[in-house]
Structure 1
Amino acid sequence: MTELSPLLLLIPTLLVFGLVWFIARSQRAKIQQQHELSQLKAAAQQQALAAALVAQEDERQRIAGELHDGVGTILALAKLHLFAPGSPPAPEASALIDQAVAEVRRISRNLQPATLQQLGLAQALRALVQAVPADNGPEVRLEQESPMGRLIPPHELMVYRIAQELLTNGLVHADATHIVLRMGAVPGLLTLTYSDDGQGFDLDALEELPPPGPHGQPVGMGLINLRSRVAVLGGQLHYHSEPGVGTRVEAILPVTLLPAGMPTPTFTLSS
């Protein structure tokens, strides 16, 4: 019986190793391709979210301008005509018009916060908190852990909208007696914390909400908007809540400070 040479015995082993190497290399290439596709998809989603929020802010500014310059002017003219010489006094009508003017101004300020542009994030949040009626709502308090400089305008506006969304959700849904907004910052990172002593909610319900996307959904719209804004900044959002024990929401947001002494550029969401 003829003996097989060592070289012939080695060939099957080499073929097996070659096949294993080829399969492993193919698997690595497939994983790398999936990873790159995932990154591209995430980048595209971030761009879509940012574009949607830019469009939303543009629409807010347009509506704010129309309310202030259009509706506000009409109401002011109506009051002048109402109290034209020779007309009988109508204090009830005057009070209603004054109330309508004040409401239009309030809505306009919320849509386009001038305080944010002029005085910065901390002052704008203070004004937001102070605007909550003290007689028929919860006590709302703003706490700032340390002084903070101005952020670049897109980040200031985004953080303000996040705080606005947190506060609105709390006022509408929490049924709380105390609400606290707390802001702290270290270089490159801002932490915004909302807490209340309200009715709380089931955290499992958050898992049923759709992921952030450029198109809003009617159910849980406030939370979806909140998650979308945090996602655009590349931040993290943490919820702590149980039914009956209140809610705590922490947003950890990468932000960019303006250099000291640099004038604030034109206020816009797009960078």
Structure 2
Amino acid sequence: MVEELLFQEDYQIVDLILIAIALLVAMAIAIILFFYFSRKRIIKSELEKANLKIANQKEIIQTTIITQEEERKRIAQDLHDAISSKLNIVSLNANMLSLKDISSEETNKIANSILKVTGNVLESSRKIAHDLLPPTLDKFGLEAALEELCEEVADTNSFEVSCDLVYEAHFLNKDKELHVFRIVQELFNNSIKYSEATNLTLKTEMEGKQLLLHYFDNGKGFDVLTAKKAKGLGMSGIENRVAILNATHTIISSPNNGISVTLALNPSKDEN
């Protein structure tokens, strides 16, 4: 009887051990499955992020190409309108000078016409070159170029322009300074063309290791979400340059409330 009880206790212990082992195996399988599916979800999420990033980069490249093509068309049109057509006039006048029966009075008149046209051509070519790469930006840096841009807009006498600039020289390299300049140039152009604003404000300041740029106008404003969906070249150009600069920005606007743009930039490692 005693032996039977001992055997029963042994069997119960064995049963408990087997049950414990089964539970441990089940827990191990559950943990493995949990980590497997968690890892799968993480990988899926990372892939979705990567695909989204690739799609975004493709869109940026595509928009950049479109913007470049539009810019090339504009430059070609400027060259044709401002230079080629005027040089044709110079050529015609020069041919007239070769005529044998031309009087001295006519010669002087044609010469003055040539001088006037060539002067206009030189001024037009200077303006086109300035638009492509502002010499002030190249020689004196971002602050001087932005100050000159503000003065050019103010000289139109169409706007009250407020310009308050603080910038640490060489905080950004020349390529990044050009992108910032183009962003501000596009903001001014948008205000001039579409906003019906009377006051334009540009401010830059150094805050810690960041450059902060603020732009405001008091124009008619627009719906930001609608503008982004429309993907106009102006808005897309700004968004693309912000991405290239690895900067952060906010655009606040609504109908009848003007626009407020803030851009925050950090120097890259090679600029420290």
What TM-score results when the alignment is normalised by the length of structure 2?
Answer: 0.71
Pairing 1:148–2:168 present: yes
Local SS of the residue matching 1:131: helix
Alignment-derived partner of residue 126 in structure 2: 105
Alignment-derived partner of residue 250 in structure 2: 238
Gaps of 5+ in 1: 210-218, 261-271
Contact kept in structure 2, 1:170 and 1:176, CA below 8 Å: yes
The whole-number CA distance in structure 2 between the counterparts of 1:220 and 1:47 is 17
Q: 2:225 aligns with which of 204, 216, 231?
A: 204
Alignment-derived partner of residue 162 in structure 1: 183
Q: 2:35 aligns with which of 22, 25, 28?
A: 25
Cα-to-partner distance string for 1:52-90 (whole Å, 9 max, x where unaligned): 8699779979x979978xx74884684486485634748
Deviates more, 1:162-171 or 1:179-188: 179-188
% identical equivalent positions: 23
Larger RCO, structures 1/2 (Cα 8 Å, 6+ apart): 1
Offset at residue 17 of structure 1 (A): 1.6
Contact kept in structure 1, 2:90 and 2:117, CA below 8 Å: no
Offset at residue 176 of structure 1 (A): 0.2
The number of equivalent residue pairs is: 250
Larger Rg: 2
Gap change, CA 1:106 and 1:88, over 3 Å in 2: same
Contact kept in structure 1, 2:164 and 2:203, CA below 8 Å: yes
User: What amino acid is the match of 1:221?
Assistant: L
Gap change, CA 1:172 and 1:39, over 3 Å in 2: same
User: What amino acid is the match of 1:159?
Assistant: V
Regions of 4+ moved over 4 Å:
1-4, 43-61, 63-68, 71-74, 76-81, 90-101, 256-260
Q: 1:42 aligns with which of 48, 53, 58?
A: 53
User: What amino acid is the match of 1:137?
Assistant: S
Contact kept in structure 1, 2:83 and 2:124, CA below 8 Å: no
Offset at residue 28 of structure 1 (A): 3.2
Contact kept in structure 2, 1:230 and 1:253, CA below 8 Å: no
User: What amino acid is the match of 2:246?
Assistant: G
Offset at residue 238 of structure 1 (A): 0.5
Pairing 1:116–2:137 present: yes
Cα-to-partner distance string for 1:73-117 (whole Å, 9 max, x where unaligned): 884684486485634748899877755653443233112222211
Offset at residue 255 of structure 1 (A): 2.7
Cα-to-partner distance string for 1:27-54 (whole Å, 9 max, x where unaligned): 3322442454335763785598479869
**What's the RMSD between the two structures over aligned residues?**
4.3
Pairing 1:255–2:263 present: no
The whole-number CA distance in structure 2 between the counterparts of 1:55 and 1:187 is 37
Local SS of the residue matching 1:14: helix
The whole-number CA distance in structure 2 between the counterparts of 1:124 and 1:57 is 22
Gaps of 5+ in 2: 1-7, 98-103
Pairing 1:9–2:9 present: no
Contact kept in structure 1, 2:167 and 2:204, CA below 8 Å: no
Contact kept in structure 1, 2:222 and 2:253, CA below 8 Å: yes
Structure with greater helix share of residues: 2
The whole-number CA distance in structure 2 between the counterparts of 1:46 and 1:202 is 25
Contact kept in structure 2, 1:138 and 1:177, CA below 8 Å: yes
Cα-to-partner distance string for 1:221-251 (whole Å, 9 max, x where unaligned): 2111111110121111211222112110111
Contact kept in structure 1, 2:63 and 2:236, CA below 8 Å: no
What TM-score results when the alignment is normalised by the length of structure 1?
Answer: 0.71
Deviates more, 1:165-174 or 1:6-15: 6-15
